[in-house]
């Protein structure tokens, strides 16, 4: 098996399995980081939906492809590409919030739009810990985790789109 065949297997089933493996590895990585104390913010959790959705879609595409339903596998691979494409936009939005290029959702950036009763505020502060979407908790090689999500989602969207265009 050549290096190209390992990266881009000659079948839709093999390519779908690669997407499934990548999605599961990325999810495992963020769960490990969570276990190490890096709590996800609201946007981080929302960005995971693409991986939660695409892992089973990739598995289903692999099953269909292995049973000869290549047209259906290609449709699923195109859908996977579309979901990751949407996630690129969401992750890029998150990067912009972290870099203060634009405001983020008020639920996780600390913005107050109305007068607040001090008693209610103290009770809320004591009962929950809000992880701010506009503060980077961890940078790896200069990119925040949201930045790495842009990279990963773009790579997987491109890979799935290419896989969907191939005949077999």
User: Confidence band (pLDDT; 50, 70, 90) for 118?
Assistant: confident
pLDDT tens digits for range 84-109: 999 999 999 999 999 999 998 877 76
| Rg of the chain, C-alpha, whole Å | 19
Q: What are the boundaries of each domain within the chain?
A: 3-165
Yes or no: say if 16 and 58 are a contact pair by the CB < 8 Å rule.
yes
User: Confidence band (pLDDT; 50, 70, 90) for 6?
Assistant: low
CATH fit for domain 3-165, picks 1.20.1550, 1.10.150, 1.10.8, 1.10.10:
1.20.1550
Give the residue-averaged pLDDT of 10-34. 94
Yes or no: say if 125 and 112 are a contact pair by the CB < 8 Å rule.
no
In sequence order, the 6+-apart residues with CB closer than 8 A to the CB of 133 are 41, 42, 43, 44, 94, 97, 98, 104, 105, 108, 109
CA 5 to chain centre: 26
Q: What is the pLDDT of residue 115?
A: 61
Instruction: Using the Cα atoms of residue 126, residue 127, residue 131 and residue 134 in order, give the sign of their dihedral.
Output: negative
Q: What is the pLDDT of residue 109?
A: 66
Q: What is the pLDDT of residue 84?
A: 98
User: Confidence band (pLDDT; 50, 70, 90) for 54?
Assistant: very high
Q: What is the pLDDT of residue 127?
A: 66
Average pLDDT, the chain: 88
Note if the pTM is more than 0.95.
Answer: no
Burial readout 41-58 (b: 16 or more C-beta within 10 A, e: otherwise): bbbbebbbebbebbbebb
Q: What is the pLDDT of residue 132?
A: 87
104: helix, strand or coil: coil
What is the 8-class DSSP label of residue 30?
A: H
User: Confidence band (pLDDT; 50, 70, 90) for 159?
Assistant: very high
């Amino acid at each position: 098996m050549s290096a190209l065949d390992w990266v881009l297997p000659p079948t839709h089933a093999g390519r779908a399995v690669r997407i499934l493996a990548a999605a599961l590895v990325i999810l495992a990585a963020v769960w490990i980081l969570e276990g190490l104390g890096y709590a996800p913010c609201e946007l981080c959790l929302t960005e995971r939906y693409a991986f939660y959705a695409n892992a089973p879609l990739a598995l289903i595409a692999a099953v269909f492809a292995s049973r000869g339903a290549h047209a259906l596998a290609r449709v699923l691979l195109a859908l996977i590409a579309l979901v990751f494409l949407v996630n690129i936009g969401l992750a890029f939005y998150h990067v912009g919030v972290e870099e203060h290029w634009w405001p983020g959702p008020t639920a996780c950036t600390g913005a107050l739009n109305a007068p607040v009763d001090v008693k209610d505020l103290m009770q809320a502060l004591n009962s929950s810990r809000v992880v701010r979407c506009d503060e980077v908790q961890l940078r790896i090689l200069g990119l925040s985790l949201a930045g790495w999500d842009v990279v990963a989602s773009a790579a997987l969207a491109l890979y799935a789109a290419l896989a969907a265009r191939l005949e077999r």
